[in-house]
A and B are shown apart, each in its own frame.
Chain A
Amino acid sequence: AQSVTQPDIHITVSEGASLELRCNYSYGATPYLFWYVQSPGQGLQLLLKYFSGDTLVQGIKGFEAEFKRSQSSFNLRKPSVHWSDAAEYFCAVEGGYQKVTFGTGTKLQVIP
């Protein structure tokens, strides 16, 4: 069975600092990988996705993620965080037929 682990429940960074959110997955083959963001009281919005090819994926809002097969990881990064990035971030893996498994999420707090 597929699974996703987000080891950091809560992260605090200063505005302008760099950010890395960790994600490890478990799946037998090459999966589809996603990062979603959720603002309070809202649904989820896709930041970026990886299917195949280039292991560094660019997304919206200046985010990027790198797929590392050897480490079963798909970490999300941003060079300079803005206050509006404060939200909860979910990593997800799809094994097919839209059977998507989400991680437990990482809440990002941005301090001035």
Chain B
Amino acid sequence: NAGVTQTPKFQVLKTGQSMTLQCAQDMNHEYMSWYRQDPGMGLRLIHYSVGAGITDQGEVPNGYNVSRSTTEDFPLRLLSAAPSQTSVYFCASSLSSGNTIYFGEGSWLTVV
């Protein structure tokens, strides 16, 4: 059982470049979300989705786009990378509200 799979694990971008962080889960979970983790800040919610075709903004959505065309996949797009987006990104999923949230192993992104 793969759980939540994120790719790539490491990425270096130049300022202004765009990229997509991929996230896939094989647990048939309705809820998926993206967080960023920065030192001393905990995890902050970027975007989340309660099902295919439904997405909403979290705490820090600026500079990021998401879509949810299937239950399994929830990609995160950086439109024009900025150094402030250097962070560790975690994708997560859960069956429904109040259930255990399963996290991917993280994607380390550096923007230079």
Complex Cα distance, B100 from A49, in Å, reads 8
Contact partner of B104 (CB less than 8 A), chosen from A41, A43, A51, A90, is A43
Enumerate chain A residues within 8 angstroms of B106, measured Cβ to Cβ.
Answer: 41-43
Nearest CB of chain A from residue B21's CB, rounded to whole Å: 14
CB–CB A102/B43 < 8 A:
yes
Complex Cα distance, B98 from A32, in Å, reads 6
Complex Cα distance, B35 from A9, in Å, reads 20
Nearest CB of chain B from residue A62's CB, rounded to whole Å: 19
Nearest CB of chain A from residue B50's CB, rounded to whole Å: 5
Contact partner of B42 (CB less than 8 A), chosen from A45, A46, A104, is A104
Complex Cα distance, B103 from A46, in Å, reads 9
Number of contacting residues on B, CB 8 A?
25
Question: Mostly helix, strand, loop or mixed at chain B's interface?
Answer: strand
CB–CB B101/A43 < 8 A:
no
Enumerate chain B residues within 8 angstroms of A90, measured Cβ to Cβ.
Answer: 42-43
Interface string of A77-94 (1 = CB under 8 A from B): 000000000000010001
Closest chain A residue, CB of each to CB of B95: A98
CB–CB B98/A51 < 8 A:
yes
Enumerate chain B residues within 8 angstroms of A17, measured Cβ to Cβ.
Answer: none
Q: Give the interface of A toward B (CB within 8 A).
A: 4, 6, 9, 32, 34, 41-46, 49, 51, 90, 94, 96-105
Q: Which 10 A-B pairs have the closest CB atoms?
A: A43-B103, A98-B31, A104-B42, A102-B43, A102-B42, A32-B98, A44-B103, A46-B100, A43-B105, A105-B42
